[in-house]
């Protein structure tokens, strides 16, 4: 997939995260570190994120793959490879 697809997915993910956890500052997020730890996401927040990904990107992330969303970089790679229009 193209670099521009990854950029688009990253932008979209950050937008979702800002909605779910308005307190986080995307500028301070380390894309290689655990998102859950940095943004203090609990299971409800993770569910909100997965629901938003399903609704807005059309990707149904199964529960067994939730761990793929652990870091921002990991989540971008995982989602970009599964985009229905990618």
Residues at the site binding other proteins, with contacts judged by CB under 8 A: 18-24, 36-37, 40, 42-45, 47-48, 50-51, 53-55, 60-64
CA–CA distance, 51 with 48 (Å, rounded to integer)? 5
Q: Which is nearer to other proteins, 3 or 44 (CB)?
A: 44
Q: How far is the CB of 31 from other proteins (least distance, A)?
A: 19
Minimum gap (Å) between residue 65 Cβ and other proteins: 11
For the chain, give percent helix, strand, coil, nearest 5.
65, 0, 30
């Amino acid at each position: 997939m193209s670099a521009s697809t990854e950029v688009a997915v990253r932008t979209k993910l950050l937008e979702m995260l800002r909605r779910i956890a308005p307190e986080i500052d995307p500028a301070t997020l380390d894309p290689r570190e655990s998102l859950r730890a940095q943004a203090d996401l609990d299971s409800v927040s993770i569910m909100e994120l997965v629901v938003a990904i399903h609704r807005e990107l059309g990707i149904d992330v199964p529960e067994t793959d939730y761990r793929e969303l652990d870091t921002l970089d990991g989540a971008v790679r995982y989602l970009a490879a599964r985009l229905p229009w990618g």
